[in-house]
Amino acid sequence: MPGNRLMNVIRKERTILAKKEGIEEEILVQAESSGQIEELEDVLKKRNLDDAKPILAQIAGYAPRDYVARVCIQDFYSGKILCRVGGAVTSLKPGTRELSGKVKYTHMLRVEAAPLARVESSFNVVWLGIEASGKSSLIERIRQGEFVPASLTIGLSVTSFFAEGVKLVNCDVSGHKSFRSIWDSLIVGNPDVMVYVIDASDNATLDEARDVLASFALKTDLLKGLPVLIAANKRDVKGALNAEQLTTKLNLPELMQGREWRVIETSAKTGSGIQNILEWVLEKIKAIKGVEFK
């Protein structure tokens, strides 16, 4: 009967949401009790990461059926991903375990999981900024959990990942001069949030970044009224401006009149500010769409 089917759907949704909190830790506990953590430490001792993938796949298999999971081995000091299985998942609170390799702690096991998103749980984020500001590297840091040097975007690049159980579709638009005047035609879908990336370490391009923000990003019809996150990127570089300095230098309060906005210090290399970006984007989408992810 239709009523019974509806109740089954509701029960399933409640089950998924109830499982969500701490699911990464539950997966790790299962991996520990089943011996996969110890197996990985033996693999690291032998320095053969090819043998790690089947073990990581087993660990990913502990995720509930309604979840998508990513499991990887990460260098403890550099944050570089050495071995990975699973799709593009981003968790605000990933589960981690130190792996000794029977010698010392040099690696981490990292688990990220999210409920499979429904079609309507897909939202659009547009990333703008002048060339070489680091847009693509920031996106890949979020998607892959490590720093990936990116080449200049030609035209646009569209990628996606799961965060907090929803799919975020990222439209990375080229910041080269030849593309700025046609941003309207390049942007895919109807953006919900704008991220404008600025190289906070390059004083020579700050005036240009401000002009492009004022003349193109804030004037593009498709983006009018959107909340704007200013990513003060490359904060790992000595001498890079902090959020307060960048706000003053670019006179952002004057530019942003009538908009919700915030400056967040970021670094694609170190991962600094990445979680803050995600939290802000998700918070704004919740407010705009009137949805709740948890």
- Segment 211-238 shows an average pLDDT of 95
- Segment 187-216 shows an average pLDDT of 95
**Which residue type does 188 have?**
V
pLDDT at 277 over 90: yes
Q: Greater confidence, 78 or 239?
A: 239
Structure tokens at 227: 């909340």
Of the segments 66-80, 258-272, 277-291, which one has the largest average pLDDT value? 258-272
228: closest CA among 200, 192, 201?
A: 192
Strand partners, 83: 73
pLDDT at 251 over 80: yes
Q: Give 132-147 pLDDT, tens digit per residue.
A: 999 999 999 998 888 8
Structure tokens at 87: 């799709």
Q: How far apart, in whole angstroms, are the C-alpha atoms of residue 39 and residue 213?
A: 51
pLDDT at 294: 52
- Segment 219-227 shows an average pLDDT of 91
Residue 13: count other Cβ atoms within 10 Å of its Cβ.
13
- For residue 254, CA distances in Å to 103, 214, 223 come to 56, 10, 18
Strand partners, 107: 75, 99
Of the segments 37-51, 69-83, 168-182, 260-274, which one has the largest average pLDDT value? 260-274
Q: Give 85-110 pLDDT, tens digit per residue.
A: 987 888 888 999 999 765 566 899 99
Which residue segments constitute the domains of the chain, with CATH numbers given?
2-115 (no CATH), 122-289 (3.40.50.300)
Half-sphere exposure in the Cβ direction for 115 (13 Å, CA) = 21
pLDDT at 2 over 70: no
pLDDT at 6 over 50: no
pLDDT at 9 over 50: no
pLDDT at 117 over 70: no
Q: Using pLDDT thresholds of 50, 70 and 90, give the confidence band for residue 17.
A: very low
- Percentage of the chain modeled with pLDDT above 90: 58
Whose tokens are 């892959």? That residue is 144
pLDDT at 68: 84
Q: Greater confidence, 185 or 293?
A: 185
pLDDT at 18: 46
248: closest CA among 263, 227, 267?
A: 263
Residues 189/169, Cβ–Cβ less than 8 Å: yes
- For residue 200, CA distances in Å to 102, 165, 174, 267, 273 come to 42, 32, 18, 10, 14
Map the chain to HEC letters: CHHHHHHHHHHHHHHHHHHHCCHHHHHHHHHHHHCHHHHHHHHHHHCCHHHHHHHHHHHHCCCCCCEEEEEEEEECCCCCEEEEEECCEECCCCEEEEECCCCCCCEEEEEEEEECCCCCCEEEEEEECCCCCCHHHHHHHHHHCCCCCCCCCCCEEEEEEEECCEEEEEEEECCCHHHHCCHHHHCCCCCCEEEEEEECCCHHHHHHHHHHHHHHHCCCHHHCCCCEEEEEECCCCCCCCCHHHHHHHCCHHHHCCCCCEEEEECCCCCCCCHHHHHHHHHHHHHHHHCCCCC
- Percentage of the chain modeled with pLDDT above 70: 88
Mean pLDDT lowest among 7-11, 119-123, 188-192, 256-260: 7-11
- Segment 191-218 shows an average pLDDT of 96
pLDDT at 44 over 70: yes
Residues 97/28, Cβ–Cβ less than 8 Å: yes
pLDDT at 79: 81
Distance of CA 75 to the CA centre of its chain: 19
Whose tokens are 């694609």? That residue is 268
- Segment 23-27 shows an average pLDDT of 92
- Segment 107-128 shows an average pLDDT of 83
